[in-house]
Amino acid sequence: WLSNIASNFIDGQITRSTDLTPSIQVLLVKIIRIGLMVIAVAIALSAVGINLSALAVLSGAVGVGIGFGLQKIVANFISGIILLVDKSVKPGDLVTIGDSQGRISAMKTRYISVAAGDGREFLIPNEDLVTQKVTN
């Protein structure tokens, strides 16, 4: 709960900053939000009395699960970070990806939202922007 309040406060501070580009703002908010959640979970587990070193086996199992079962989600997440860092596309850009054309209205962790001129909105996985031909 405290982590969510803190991340919302920091989100407001970052989005009001005019020195940062929109993609860097999104990246910072995502990194801070994930970091605060990890810290909150570690503190909660420690407060309950669970030894954090006992989670080593569990984290190994989670790593194997991510490796086999969640490849697309992880690929889209990493592709989203790559897109935010390299600044190749940003909110407001007019793009064509495959058959979809429109303005980028939002950049999320796993996908971008492209608003077409006719009122439709396409959700395109970030991996497609990294691996396919994109006209910006």
Q: What is the pLDDT of residues 99-124, one digit of tens each?
A: 778 898 888 878 889 998 888 888 88
Task: Kindly state the DSSP code that residue 55 receives in the 8-state scheme.
Answer: G
Q: Is 11 exposed, middle or buried (0-12, 13-18, 19+ CB in 10 A)?
A: middle
Q: What does the alpha-carbon distance between residue 6 and residue 53 come to, in Å, rounded to a whole number?
A: 27
Name residues whose C-beta falls within 8 Å of residue 99's C-beta, 6 or more positions apart in sequence: none
pLDDT at 50 over 80: no
What pTM was estimated for this model as a whole?
Answer: 0.54
Does residue 69 surpass a pLDDT of 80? no
* Cβ(101)–Cβ(95) below 8 Å: yes
Is the predicted pLDDT of residue 44 greater than 80, yes or no? yes
The 10s digit of each residue's pLDDT in 2-37 is: 888 888 898 888 888 878 888 888 888 888 888 888
Q: Which pLDDT belongs to residue 116?
A: 87
Q: What are the chain's domains?
A: 2-69 (no CATH), 94-135 (2.30.30.60)
